[in-house]
Amino acid sequence: MVLSVISAYAEGYINLYALLSSGLYVALYHCAINTKRAIIRAILSTVFVITSLALALHWVPGFNNLPIVINERITSDAIAFTLYANFDKAMAGLFLCAYFFSNLNPKSKAPVKTDSKTAIKTEIKVKQPIFIVISTVLATLMAALILGLVSFDPKVPDFWLAFIAINLLFTCVAEEALFRGLLQTKLSQIITPARLSLLAPLITAGIFALAHFSGGVNYVLVSIVAGFGYSYIFYKTQRLEWAILCHWLVNVCHFFLFTYPMLSKP
């Protein structure tokens, strides 16, 4: 993180104000996870989450993010697409993930038996999230097709490698750490009755969809489908990695196989 901040400052992608802001952000994260008094820790954690959101939404000045594509139509019938390598959002995603994992209970160090029953359970644990990933990808893209947001359009744009890297490390990590790692985890702690346990992923999916309201009503509907898939896989596995992977694969399949980001209005 230190090397990336220094490099960004040397190359002019962040100025002195953003450099100081980054230092304060790291200090805030450190205090939020290490403060012993519960009330102070709660206050610092809230400030940390709000600051992370401000960074992800580019509200903190001083970041001159690198443009990759500016107002380019990937296909003639698509709306213009812009892609930045957002340093501020990437930093927020990194520390939101760190905050999420710092709050997990330490794993038991007891030796694990490797008998046949354990092997079968492990195989089931792997197959179930893979099935959810595939179902989410298919359901999301089918919904987008049915609602007329996209058409089938296989392609490999020139900037494909930058896209898959930025989308994974900058976009999916930050959004999943915020929505699933923080919001859904907190809702699950509040909604304790077992019969209501699905409310947490449902509410999180709804909030995730509303965050995409700028794309229109149909985009919100597709985002609900995708968001529930991301929320459900996190609900079943309690692994943020699976939610990030699911989100990324939906975006990658959309990028390579369908209109991206969506069809222009007639």
pLDDT tens-place string over residues 184-223: 999 999 998 989 999 999 999 999 999 999 999 999 999 9
Closest CA to 133 of 242, 42, 26: 242
**What would the pLDDT profile of 65-74 be if each residue is shown by its tens digit?**
999 999 999 9
Residue 14, classed as helix, strand or coil, is strand
In the block, residue with structure tokens 């990030």: 244
Residues of the chain under the 50 pLDDT cut: 108-112
Task: Answer yes or no: pTM beyond 0.85.
Answer: yes
Angle at 69 between CA 25 and CA 205, to 5 degrees: 60
Identify the CA nearest to 187 among candidates 44, 68, 178, 150.
178
